[in-house]
Copies of this chain bind each other. A is one copy, B any other.
């Protein structure tokens, strides 16, 4: 089993009603890799960093099973940086600063040792880079999962539609599903999006949970009501990491097993938001994970005597 993760490895500076961070470790591939490491011994990261990226972050990622052969450091460049502030409801945020830096030099060429991977997670990134990465595998991977966002729908719809047509699972949020399909009803939106290529669609609804659609089935995992959400940054990526990590471990891509994977992804996201940045994800134990998943199961467990 082998999981290749394409995505950013970055610096974030985050402000929420609970506090403010300096530049800390961030990036989609970072969160995905950390969440997936709860299920599989190795994740192969495909990303790019600059001179300024600290060695200690690499050591931490490696200690959590990250293979960084495909994480290229480009001399003379700075690491991608994002800074944002979350509003009181934690559902909306303003971007304060985005410095693409080294991302502009992203070379998606796949190391030889990555080319036989059978699970691929294409984290949120320019769809042209996602496409270029996907074309380099020796054979069609068993499962390709794609994450994207409204930004790419606005400025790069054509390559986005192309990459969507080539993947097995698409994960987006409810507003993005509506934008992509032009349908308000999520049932209708899902039908249109599945007709674009993917066999499965996951619609993430934040504090309202997540929906998994196939052509003829629907599954709804509610989100665990939390005392506090400290920092939503990386929640979607943690979801993707838990989801793909679980599938890669179990090697079963049936709808029934995807339902379980959505539950494990939701559990990963629920940990992520408990502390700033990657802090909580770095310290999850297997026991934490199984307890949390059980909480999700119990949350909507009910028995009817007819």
Assess the A300–B187 pair: CB atoms within 8 A. no
Q: How many residues of A contact B (CB 8 A)?
A: 35
A186 to B90, CA, bound (A): 13
A1 CB-CB contact with B under 8 Å: no
When the two chains form the complex, which single residue of B185, B188, B294, B300 contacts A219, counting CB atoms closer than 8 Å? B300
Report the separation of the CA atoms of residues A259 and B299 in the bound assembly, to the nearest whole angstrom: 10
Return the contact of A185 from the options B227, B299, B304 (Cβ within 8 A): B227
Residues of B within 8 A of A219 (CB): 299-300, 302
* The residue from B89, B187, B226, B300 contacting A225, defined by CB atoms under 8 A apart: B187
- Chain A, 87-98, contact with B by CB distance < 8 Å: what is the 0/1 string? 011100000000
CA distance A5 to B209 in the complex (A): 34
Q: When the two chains form their complex, are residues B209 and A208 in contact, meaning their CB atoms are under 8 A apart? A: yes
- The distance from the CB of A192 to the nearest CB of chain B, in whole angstroms, is 13
For residue A218, CB closer than 8 A to chain B, the reply is: yes
A222 proximal to B (CB < 8 A)? yes
List the B residue with the shortest CB-CB distance to A220.
Answer: B222
Q: Are B304 and A218 neighbours in the complex by a CB distance under 8 Å?
A: no
- A225-244 with Cβ < 8 A to chain B: 225-229
Chain A residues in contact with chain B, CB under 8 A? Answer: 88-90, 184-188, 205, 208-209, 211, 218-222, 225-229, 259-260, 263, 290, 293-294, 297, 299-300, 302-304, 306
What are 27 A-B interface contacts by the 8 Å CB criterion?
A88-B184, A89-B184, A185-B225, A185-B227, A185-B228, A186-B225, A205-B208, A208-B209, A209-B209, A209-B220, A209-B222, A218-B225, A218-B299, A219-B300, A219-B302, A220-B225, A220-B299, A220-B300, A221-B302, A222-B300, A260-B302, A260-B303, A263-B302, A263-B304, A290-B306, A294-B304, A300-B300
